[in-house]
Structure 1
Amino acid sequence: MKRMMKKAICIILTVSMSISVLSACSGSQNKSTAGSGSDPVSSAGTDGDAFVHDSNLNLPGEVGEGKDPICKDKVSLTIGLPQQPNVEDFETNKMTVWLEEVGNYDLTFKIYPSEEYATQINLAATAGGKDLPDILLGGQGINDSLVASWGEAGTIIPLNDYYEHSAYYLKEAVQRTGTDFYPLITSADGNMYYVPYYNQSLVSEYSAKMWLYGPWIEKLNLDVPTTPEELRAVLRAFTQKDPNGNGKADEIGLISRNNNDLLWFAALMTPFQYLSSGDPQMWWNIDQGTVTAAYATEGFREGLKYLRSLFDEGLIDPLSFTNDLSQTQALLTQTDPIIGAYVYTSMSDIPASDARRSEYVGIAPLLSSDGTQYTPYNPSAPQPSGLITSNCENPEAAFRLLDYLVSEEMSIWTRWGEKGVDWLVPEENEISIFADLGYPAVLQSVLPWGTLQNSHWYQAGPYIRQYGIALGEVWNGDKSNTSYLISTIQGEYTDKHPEEIISKLIYTQEEQETVTPLLASMVTYVKEMIANFCTNNDGMDINDDAVWQQYLDQLDSIGLSQILECVQASYDRMYK
Structure 2
Amino acid sequence: MKRKLALLLAGVLAAGSLMGGCGKKDSASEGGQSADGEVTLSFFDKNSGSNTFDDDVAKAIMEKTGVKISVENPTGDPLEKLNLMLTGQNYPDIVLMDRGNEIVKRYIDAGALVDLTDYIDQYPNIKEMYGETLNKIKYDDGKNYYLANWYGQDPEPVAGVVMRYDILCELVGHERADSDEPFTEQEFIDICKQFKEKYPEIDGKESIAITLDAESSNYDGTIRGMYGMKNYAQLEDGTVSHIVKDERFPKIVKFMNGLYTEGLLDKEWVVNKKEQWKQKLSAGNVFATFCSYWDTDPVNVSLVSTIGENAKFYSYKIVGDGTNADETTYSGRSTLGWDAIAITNNCKNVDAALKLIDFLVSEEGQYLMMWGLEGKTWNMEDGVHVPTEQILDKIATDIDAVKAEYGIRKWTWFIKNGLGSDGTPYDLYSYEKTETSQMANRHFGESDRWDTAEFDGLTPDGSTPEGLSWQKVQDLYSQAFSQIVNAASFDEAMDIYEKLINDMDAAGLPNVEKIMTEKYNTKMELWGEE
- Please give the TM-score of this superposition, normalised by the length of structure 2: 0.77
- Aligned runs of 1:242-253 on 2, under 5 Å? 242=199, 250-253=206-209
Q: Call closer, same or farther: CA 1:537–1:531 in 2, change over 3 Å.
A: farther
Is 2:291 aligned against 1:344? yes
Task: Output one character per residue of 1:40-84: Cα deviation in whole Å (capped at 9) or x when no partner.
Answer: 366xxxxxxxxxxx799xxxxxxxxxxxxxxx9754433334583
Runs of 5+ unmatched residues, structure 1: 1-32, 43-53, 57-71, 277-281, 433-440, 476-480
Counterpart residue identity of residue 158, structure 1: D
Task: Output one character per residue of 1:495-516: Cα deviation in whole Å (capped at 9) or x when no partner.
Answer: 3348785444236986873554
Which residue of 2 is the match for residue 120 of structure 1?
Answer: 81
Q: Call closer, same or farther: CA 1:354–1:124 in 2, change over 3 Å.
A: closer
Task: Output one character per residue of 1:243-269: Cα deviation in whole Å (capped at 9) or x when no partner.
Answer: 8776x78222112222422x3254235
Counterpart residue identity of residue 211, structure 1: V
Q: CA deviation at 1:197?
A: 0.9
Extract structure 1 runs of 4+ deviating beyond 6 A: 243-246, 426-432, 537-540
Counterpart residue identity of residue 174, structure 1: Y
Q: CA deviation at 1:221?
A: 4.1
Counterpart residue identity of residue 350, structure 1: V
Which residue of 2 is the match for residue 51 of structure 1?
Answer: none
Task: Output one character per residue of 1:437-467: Cα deviation in whole Å (capped at 9) or x when no partner.
Answer: xxxx9x9475753243473572354332325
Which residue of 1 is the match for residue 446 of structure 2?
Answer: 495
Counterpart residue identity of residue 410, structure 2: Y
Contact 2:371 2:428 in 1 (8 A): no
Which residue of 1 is the match for residue 95 of structure 2?
Answer: 137
Contact 2:317 2:443 in 1 (8 A): yes
Q: Call closer, same or farther: CA 1:542–1:425 in 2, change over 3 Å.
A: farther
Distance, in Å, in 2 between the alignment partners of 1:286 and 1:377 is 22
Which residue of 2 is the match for residue 321 of structure 1?
Answer: 270
Is 2:223 aligned against 1:268? yes
Q: Call closer, same or farther: CA 1:111–1:502 in 2, change over 3 Å.
A: closer
Which residue of 2 is the match for residue 378 of structure 1?
Answer: 332
Is 2:159 aligned against 1:208? yes
Distance, in Å, in 1 between the alignment partners of 2:189 and 2:47 is 48
- Aligned runs of 1:35-434 on 2, under 5 Å? 36-38=22-24, 40=26, 74-82=38-46, 84-85=48-49, 87=51, 89-90=52-53, 92-105=54-67, 107-109=68-70, 111-127=72-88, 129=89, 131-133=90-92, 135-139=93-97, 143=100, 145-163=102-120, 165-174=121-130, 180-200=132-152, 202=154, 206-221=157-172, 226-242=183-199, 250-261=206-217, 263-272=218-227, 274-276=228-230, 282-285=231-234, 290-334=239-283, 337-346=284-293, 347-355=296-304, 356=308, 358-359=310-311, 360-372=313-325, 373-380=327-334, 381-423=336-378
Q: Secondary structure at 2:315's aligned position in 1?
A: strand
Q: CA deviation at 1:191?
A: 2.1
Q: Call closer, same or farther: CA 1:362–1:104 in 2, change over 3 Å.
A: closer
Task: Output one character per residue of 1:64-107: Cα deviation in whole Å (capped at 9) or x when no partner.
Answer: xxxxxxxx9754433334583463x32x33333323322222x2
Q: CA deviation at 1:532?
A: 0.3
Contact 2:165 2:314 in 1 (8 A): yes
2:470 to 514, 519, 543: 519
Q: Which moved more, 1:402-411 or 1:413-422?
A: 413-422
Q: Secondary structure at 1:386's aligned position in 2?
A: strand
Q: CA deviation at 1:236?
A: 0.8
Runs of 5+ unmatched residues, structure 2: 1-18, 420-424
Task: Output one character per residue of 1:144-186: Cα deviation in whole Å (capped at 9) or x when no partner.
Answer: 53223222322221111112x22222222136xxxx2123321
Q: Call closer, same or farther: CA 1:206–1:565 in 2, change over 3 Å.
A: farther
C-alpha RMSD of matched pairs (Å): 3.9
2:415 to 463, 470, 473: 463
Q: CA deviation at 1:209?
A: 1.6
Counterpart residue identity of residue 121, structure 1: L
Q: Call closer, same or farther: CA 1:459–1:515 in 2, change over 3 Å.
A: farther
Q: Call closer, same or farther: CA 1:499–1:469 in 2, change over 3 Å.
A: closer
Q: Which structure carries more helix by proportion?
A: 2
Distance, in Å, in 2 between the alignment partners of 1:315 and 1:428 is 53
Distance, in Å, in 2 between the alignment partners of 1:329 and 1:353 is 10
Q: Secondary structure at 1:161's aligned position in 2?
A: coil
- Please give the TM-score of this superposition, normalised by the length of structure 1: 0.71
Pairs aligned (count): 477
Q: Secondary structure at 1:340's aligned position in 2?
A: strand
